[in-house]
């Protein structure tokens, strides 16, 4: 078990090190996230729609599409020079590969979210200070859910000809439950509603995470084995 976890961290560390060295996905995800925020911000008619009404949806659409950028690159880096074969040859469980990829993707998406959030606050004039703790928890729970599923789909589609097209097609239906939950919690957090109103949604997000991380661990070996 210890070796499996060490291997997972080695894979996550490798992915982050490679990304820090190239910065290609990070920069494109951030530019993309900023672009979405700008479009949402300027497409709103200030006389008819208050920023607070649009803000939760805009925030989570931004996070979701930025995550897609991360997930698209998760296994495409393993396709170059057939590096995935080297991972499959290594004396580590297939589940370690999944966990490593999941951890790397989560770190990447959380980094994008952390940078995007202040931008969001500026564009939507949102006072996020009071709800920062709740937002962080919601972000962890919702992001883990769709990144867990997306990591499996990324592995599944990487050998297909249209990987970058197939991934969103497969993943978007599975993103809907965590996104609905996250938006519902965010609406209430921004409206300073009591904690009791969001506990149910947070529980739902947590259950989604447990179910889909477990399912992903189970199916991943058959996804990567030829």
Partner 1 sequence: MRPSEGPLLVAAGLSRSFGPLQALRGVDLSLAEGETLVVYGPNGAGKSTLLRLLAGIMRPTAGEIRVGGRLVRPGDPASRRGIGLVSHHSFLYDDLSLLDNLLFAARLYGVRDAASVASRALEEAGLGARVHESPRSLSRGLQQRVSIARALLHDPLLLLLDEPFTGLDGASAGRLRASLARRAGEGRAAVLVTHQLAEAWELATRVAVLSAGRWVLEEPRAGAYAAFAARAEALLHA
Interface contacts to partner 1, rule CB under 8 A: 3, 6-7, 10-11, 14, 17-19, 21-22, 77, 80-83, 85-94, 221, 225-226
Assess contact for 109 and 182: CB atoms under 8 A: no
Residue closer to partner 1 (CB basis): 45 or 225: 225
CB of 4 to partner 1, least distance (A): 8
Computed from CA positions of residues 83, 84, 86, 87, in that sequence, does the dihedral angle turn out positive or negative? positive
Contact 225, 156 (CB under 8 A): no
- Pick from 212, 26, 198: nearest CA to 102: 212
Rounded least distance, CB 184 to partner 1, Å? 38
Please, what is the minimum distance in Å from the beta carbon of residue 131 to partner 1?
Answer: 37
C-beta of 11 vs 103, nearer to partner 1? 11
Write down the least CB distance from residue 93 to partner 1, Å.
5
- Nearer of residues 10 and 111 to partner 1, judged by Cβ: 10
Closer Cβ to partner 1, 17 or 127, answer by number:
17
List, as one string, the DSSP characters of 32-67.
Answer: HHHHHHHHHHHHS-TTTS-HHHHHHHHHHHHHHHHH
Q: What is the DSSP string of 109-128?
A: HHHHHHHHHHHHHHHTT---
Give min distance, CB of 112 to partner 1, in A: 18
Of the two residues 127 and 159, which places its CB atom closer to partner 1 in the complex? 159
């Amino acid at each position: 078990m210890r070796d499996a976890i060490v291997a997972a961290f080695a894979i996550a560390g490798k992915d982050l090190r490679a990304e820090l060295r190239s910065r290609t996905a990070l920069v494109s995800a951030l530019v993309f996230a900023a672009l979405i925020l700008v479009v949402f911000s300027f497409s709103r008619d200030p006389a008819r729609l208050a920023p607070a009404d649009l803000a939760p949806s805009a925030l989570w659409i931004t996070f979701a599409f930025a995550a897609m950028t991360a997930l698209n690159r998760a296994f495409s880096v393993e396709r170059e020079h057939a590096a995935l074969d080297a991972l499959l040859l290594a004396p580590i469980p297939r589940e370690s590969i999944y966990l490593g990829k999941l951890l790397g993707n989560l770190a990447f998406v959380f980094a994008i979210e952390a940078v995007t959030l202040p931008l969001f606050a500026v564009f939507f004039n949102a006072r996020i200070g009071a709800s920062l703790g709740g937002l962080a928890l919601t972000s962890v729970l919702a992001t883990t859910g769709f990144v867990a599923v997306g990591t499996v789909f990324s592995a599944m589609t990487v050998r297909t000809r249209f990987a970058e097209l197939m991934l969103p097609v497969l993943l978007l239906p599975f993103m809907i439950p965590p996104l609905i939950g996250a938006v519902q919690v965010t609406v209430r957090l921004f409206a300073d509603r009591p904690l009791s109103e969001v506990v149910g949604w947070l529980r739902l997000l947590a259950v989604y995470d447990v179910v889909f991380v477990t399912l992903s661990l189970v199916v991943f070996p058959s996804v990567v084995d030829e």
